[in-house]
Structure 1
Amino acid sequence: MAPIFGGIHCMAWFFAFPTYQEQVLWRTSAVAITCTPWLGFLAPPLLTALDTPDAVTTSYFVLCVMSYVVARAVLLVLMFTTLRNLPPDAYKAVSWTSLVPHL
């Protein structure tokens, strides 16, 4: 489910952002949310098969979880900060009654 959520955020790859830094943060966070669950659940069995210590496997999993949480938090903050720079069309009032054919 998490990679799908990240993939949806990756669809905004070419959207306009207020600053270049926000665009890079959005892209990085979207890729992290998409890839981190795969890395977090596929790599520990591989690390166990390679006879790595349990501390390494556990710390790797904790690192993946922490990076996922940070990426989600960054996206949450960016969603609200990009509202400061909306295009002028976002402030136009929509006449919904003109969209209903029988009114």
Structure 2
Amino acid sequence: MASIFGGIHCIAWFFAFPTYPEQVLWHISAVAIILIPWLGLFFFFLSVTFLENTELQDLVMGTAIFIPPPLYITGRIILLVLMATTLRNLPPDTYQAVSWISLVPHL
């Protein structure tokens, strides 16, 4: 589900952003949200499948458990902040009033 959520944010890959650094941050965060859950699963299955009871298994298991969640949360926070800050630079057409009555056929 987390990867699907990140994929939805990739829809905005070619949207216009107010600045280039904001666009790069959006791209990095969207890709991170897609890949970080898979990275955690990879490390988990690596430690369970290929490493027997060793200190290396404990290290890899700790990496699988403790590293991905803060990275994922950071990516989500960056996307949330970018969504809010991008509202400062809307196109002029956004502020035009819509005549909703003309869109209703029976009025």
What's the TM-score, normalizing by structure 2?
0.88
5+ residue gaps, structure 1, are none
Cα distance in 2 for residues equivalent to 1:100 and 1:37: 46
Task: For residue 64 of structure 1, report the CA deviation from its aligned partner.
Answer: 1.0
User: Helix, strand or coil: the match of 2:12?
Assistant: coil
User: Helix, strand or coil: the match of 2:17?
Assistant: coil
Cα distance in 1 for residues equivalent to 2:103 and 2:42: 50
After the TM superposition, which residues 92-103 of structure 1 pair with which residues of structure 2 at under 5 Å, given as runs? 92-103=96-107
What's the TM-score, normalizing by structure 1?
0.92
Larger radius of gyration: 2
Give me the identity figure in percent.
60
The aligned length equals: 103
Residue 11 of structure 2 is matched in structure 1 by: 11
Residue 24 of structure 1 is matched in structure 2 by: 24
Cα distance in 2 for residues equivalent to 1:13 and 1:61: 30
Q: Does 1:74 align with 2:93?
A: no
Task: For residue 37 of structure 1, report the CA deviation from its aligned partner.
Answer: 1.2
C-alpha RMSD over aligned residues: 1.3
